[in-house]
């Protein structure tokens, strides 16, 4: 009996020692990153806000690692037929083949076609949640990766051209992740990927996204298990809708990928997707999960 109790006590000590090594995510700093992006205005390809925000993102990641690059390509906006420059921003931390690819899209929708006011449907979307929130989480993650170098390589990618598609035309979406995935050599393919999209909602609720659960079931279940063990309130065991998003392009080239997304967002693709609809606390929930994935890994190998 004594041996059993000592074993249990030792296990608890080891568990908390491991988790104590995980850095503390600064949700307020992440929220400042969200606001900074929104200060550039709408950030759709071809706009002045897009160019200014690209410079900002490149500079911010450049503060954290010398291994940052712009991956520029030409993308066609299906609705208008316009060909424009689009740019993914890629930052690497650590050595070897990437263990984790953490990604988000940084562009915003050129028109608010889901706005209830028809007068506003051709106005660009501010993109506080749909765009800036996921990027904000990853910028804060980058700060920790600089201060606490990971034991295995972590790659952060900010995808462009995700949100200029046409409803019903699947191939018109996710242009940046498609380009990125097609350029990857076998040696550069991450073992696993997590996409964070629309994670800033003040009333955050994160079900298991349908395509993630269908095509990467083991990884999805383990991530939600980890969230439950950490007491992260926004994650729940409901199955959410199937989302056309950047993770699908990664899965097409053999990278198991999970989309963490709250698609139940009333201001999606409207002019009301603004900073006041988001919260630092929501960013913190997702950021803490990602830090545990990186530094603790929690049996996800």
Residue-level pLDDT at 19: 47
Note the pLDDT of residue 301: 57
pLDDT digits (tens, 9 = 90+) for 134-173: 999 999 999 999 999 999 999 999 999 999 999 999 999 9
DSSP string, 164-191: --BTTBGGGS-HHHHHHHHH--GGG--S
The sign of the CA dihedral 135, 229, 232, 249 is positive
Q: Provide the domain count of the chain.
A: 1
pLDDT digits (tens, 9 = 90+) for 68-88: 999 999 999 999 999 999 999
Residue 12 lies in a domain: no
Q: Is residue 207 part of a domain?
A: yes
The pLDDT of residue 32 is 98
Query: Which residue ranges in the chain fall short of pLDDT 50?
Result: 1-2, 4-20, 298-299
Residue 65 belongs to some domain of the structure: yes
DSSP strands (E only) in 127-175: 154-159
**Residue 37, in any domain of the structure:** yes
pLDDT of residue 112: 98
Q: Does the residue 54 lie in any domain?
A: yes
**Any domain includes 105:** yes
Which helix or strand (DSSP H or E) is residue 32 part of? helix 27-38
pLDDT in tens, 244-253: 999 999 999 9
**What's the N-to-C CA distance of the chain in angstroms?**
33
pLDDT, residue 300, reads 63
Q: pLDDT at position 299, please?
A: 47
Is residue 284 in some structural domain? yes
The verdict on residue 20 lying in a domain is no
Supply the CATH number for residue 103's domain: 3.40.630.10
| Alpha helices in 148-245, H assignment, sequence order | 175-183, 210-215, 217-230
Q: CA-CA distance, 49 to 129, in Å (whole number)?
A: 16
DSSP secondary structure of 66-115: S-EEEEEEEEEETTTTEEEEEEEEEEEESSSS-SEEEEEE----SS-TT-
Q: What is the pLDDT of residue 3?
A: 52
Handedness of CA 256, 162, 102, 209 (dihedral sign): negative
pLDDT of residue 2: 47
Tokens representing 281?
Answer: 């606390």
Q: By residue range, what is the domain housing residue 166?
A: 27-295
Could you tell me the pTM of the whole model?
0.93
């Amino acid at each position: 009996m004594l041996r059993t109790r000592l074993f249990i006590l030792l296990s608890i000590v080891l568990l908390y020692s491991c988790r104590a090594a995980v850095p503390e995510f600064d949700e307020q700093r992440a929220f400042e990153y969200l606001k900074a992006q929104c200060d550039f205005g709408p950030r759709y390809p071809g706009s002045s806000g897009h160019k200014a925000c690209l410079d900002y993102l490149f500079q911010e990641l450049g503060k954290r690692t010398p291994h940052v690059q712009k991956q520029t390509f030409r993308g066609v906006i299906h609705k208008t037929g316009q060909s424009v420059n689009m740019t993914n921003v890629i930052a690497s931390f650590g050595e070897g083949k990437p263990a984790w690819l953490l990604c988000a899209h940084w562009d915003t929708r050129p028109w608010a076609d889901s706005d209830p006011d028809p007068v506003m449907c051709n106005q660009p979307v501010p993109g506080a949640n749909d765009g800036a929130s996921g990027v904000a989480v990853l910028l804060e993650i980058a700060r920790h990766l600089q201060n606490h170098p990971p034991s295995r390589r972590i790659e952060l990618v900010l995808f462009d051209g995700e949100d200029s598609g046409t409803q019903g035309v699947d191939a018109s979406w996710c242009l940046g992740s498609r380009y990125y995935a097609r350029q990857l050599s076998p040696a550069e393919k991450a073992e696993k990927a997590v996409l964070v999209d629309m994670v800033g909602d003040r009333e955050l609720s994160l079900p298991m996204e349908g395509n993630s659960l269908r095509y990467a079931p083991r990884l999805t279940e383990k991530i939600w298990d980890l969230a439950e063990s950490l007491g992260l309130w926004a994650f729940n065991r409901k199955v959410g809708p199937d989302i056309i998003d950047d993770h699908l392009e990664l899965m097409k080239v053999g990278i198991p990928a999970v989309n963490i997304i709250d698609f139940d967002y009333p201001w999606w693709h409207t002019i009301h997707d603004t900073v006041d609809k988001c919260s630092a606390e929501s960013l913190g929930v997702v950021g803490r999960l990602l830090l545990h994935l990186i530094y603790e890994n929690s049996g996800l190998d």
